[in-house]
Amino acid sequence: MSINTRQALVPDNMEISSHMKNRHQEQWENLGTHDPYWAVLSDPSKKNRQWDKEIFFNSGKQEIHRVLANLRQQHMQPCLGTALDFGCGVGRLSRALSTHFKKVIGVDISSSMIAEARTQHREHPNIDFIHNTANDLSIIPDGSIDFIYSNIVLQHIPSKQQKRFIEEFCRVLRPSGIIVFQTPSQHDLSVISGWAYFLLGNRILNILRRVKYGKHGVMEVHILPKQWILKTLGECGVSINEVERFDSSGKGFKSYRYYGTKS
């Protein structure tokens, strides 16, 4: 992702290195080119293009059904205007959202993912897939989105960039708009894999990932502490409705899903 001149507003006030940004983008172009469906849902049995597309997209339908049901239980009702699927990949969740919202915008860093998403959704005219390599969402106007959803996406983005995108979520969300997103908060040191992630870090683990999944199967995982997220949302005028433990990051991480409403 390209970096502008503004610094990410994180405790150490440091910009993300161009090297890290280029590494992240290259990983997802590789994944999107060689095995896009497995990269979105990394079931080991589905590696090497083994996903059945009907089952794959139906999983997105089920996920969005559960999310909207959770919102109703919390007495949160999004306006069914425009939804943003951040990190849309090949459109697994965008397709599901399109049956509930008038318009869906799917955004992804990988041009190969976006190309596949457009191919698979030619008969879904209310979905707009956008390739975005910036470290912000300047392609989307202020206050133009009614509902934002993101799952198993932010975790693959370096922490400072994650925080920047959460700030951008708040910017593009309309007043009374609803946001739901997931990301891991910390390593789970009660399991061996958590210690491995904690001690080795992504640079060393990437070597092991290449051995296990091949050179085109590397995807990093980055944490963003819950206290950072809550502070950022509060500063941006988003009220927290619920924070639920939601371990979609897999073993080795304590992950949460955040529900918020913009004031």
pLDDT in tens, the chain (263 residues): 322 322 233 333 334 445 556 777 888 999 999 999 999 999 989 998 999 999 999 999 999 999 999 999 999 999 999 999 999 999 999 999 999 999 999 999 999 999 999 999 999 999 999 999 999 999 999 999 999 999 999 999 999 999 999 999 999 999 999 999 999 999 999 999 999 999 999 989 989 888 888 878 889 999 999 999 999 999 999 999 999 999 999 999 999 999 999 99
- Provide the token pair at 214: 């091949």
Phi, psi of 52 (to 5 degrees): -80, 120
**What is the structure's pLDDT at 233?**
97
Tokens 């004031």 — which residue? 263
192, 197, 190, 196: which is closest to 223 by C-alpha? 197
**What is the structure's pLDDT at 22?**
77
Question: Is this prediction's pTM over 0.85?
Answer: yes
**What is the structure's pLDDT at 20?**
53
**What is the structure's pLDDT at 213?**
85
142, 40, 138: which is closest to 89 by C-alpha? 40
**What is the structure's pLDDT at 107?**
98
How many angstroms separate the CA atoms of 51 and 45, rounded? 9
Which domains does the chain carry? 18-262 (3.40.50.150)
How many angstroms separate the CA atoms of 94 and 196, rounded? 34
How many angstroms separate the CA atoms of 84 and 67, rounded? 14
**What is the structure's pLDDT at 24?**
79
Tokens 């206290």 — which residue? 227
How many angstroms separate the CA atoms of 143 and 146, rounded? 8
Question: What is the H or E stretch that residue 34 is in?
Answer: helix 18-34
Residues ≥6 apart with Cβ < 8 Å to 124? 95, 98
